[in-house]
Each structure stands twice: as structure tokens, then as C-alpha cells.
Amino acid sequence: MLIRIVRLTLDPAHGDAFYDHFESVAPRIRQFDGCEHLELWTDAAYPNVVITHSHWADDDALQAYRKSELFRSAWATVKPLFAARPQAFSANVAHPASDIEAALPNT
């Protein structure tokens, strides 16, 4: 599984437009082949900073989404709403929580 985190700094004047668009496109992203999870977080200290948190079957699934018309259309809509360049991070799950919990002693 691949975890994708993208930090987006929104122009405060366009926050509502971003949220409206996310609500409309999120169901289609969640249904995209290989997408296993999608959430939108808000930064606790900076209300104009949002973070997308998604799980993908693997990097091939993420790259297929990034090459899709769905991504191109969504990105074209939200990119003008940013106040700073987005920051994206991808990580493979090295130790799933289930493995860690299974290794804990029973008390």
C-alpha cells in the first residue's frame, strides 16, 4: 500500500471554492481503481492549509490516477486557488498497525 499526503496552502479568499470542489470530486476519486482511502484534513494551526490523505494499492495505481482525465480536470480547477506551491509526499507502509499490535504482549 502507498500512502500519499499532499499539503495545500489555499488563498483564504478561495477556501469555499476549494471545499465545494473537493466535495464534488472526492466520491469519484474514492471510486478510482486502486484508491483505497481518501480524507481531507485541515491544519490545526493554519485554517487555510489543507492536507489530502489517500491510500493507493501501489504506485502504479497512483500514477494511473495522476495521468487520468479526472485528475487533470480536478487539478486545473483547484490549482488557481493555491497561495503557495503544494507539497506532496508518498510513503510505503513499512509496519502496518496490525503487525505492531500483534507483536504487543497480552496484558
- The enclosing domain of 96 has a CATH number of 3.30.70.100
Alpha carbons within 13 A on the beta-carbon side of 31: 6
- Number of domains into which the chain is organized: 1
Domain range enclosing 10? 2-103
Contact by Cβ (8 Å): 1, 56: yes
Q: How would you write the pLDDT of the chain (107 residues) with one tens digit per residue?
A: 999 999 999 999 999 999 999 999 999 999 999 999 999 999 999 999 999 999 999 999 999 999 999 999 999 999 999 999 999 999 998 887 776 667 778 75
Specify the pLDDT at position 97.
Answer: 78
Residue type, 57: A
Q: How far apart are CA 104 and CA 92, in angstroms?
A: 22
Q: Report in angstroms the alpha-carbon separations of 32 from 16, 46, 65.
A: 25, 30, 7
Q: How far apart are CA 7 and CA 36, in angstroms?
A: 19
**Cell for 65?**
490516477
**Cell for 80?**
488557481
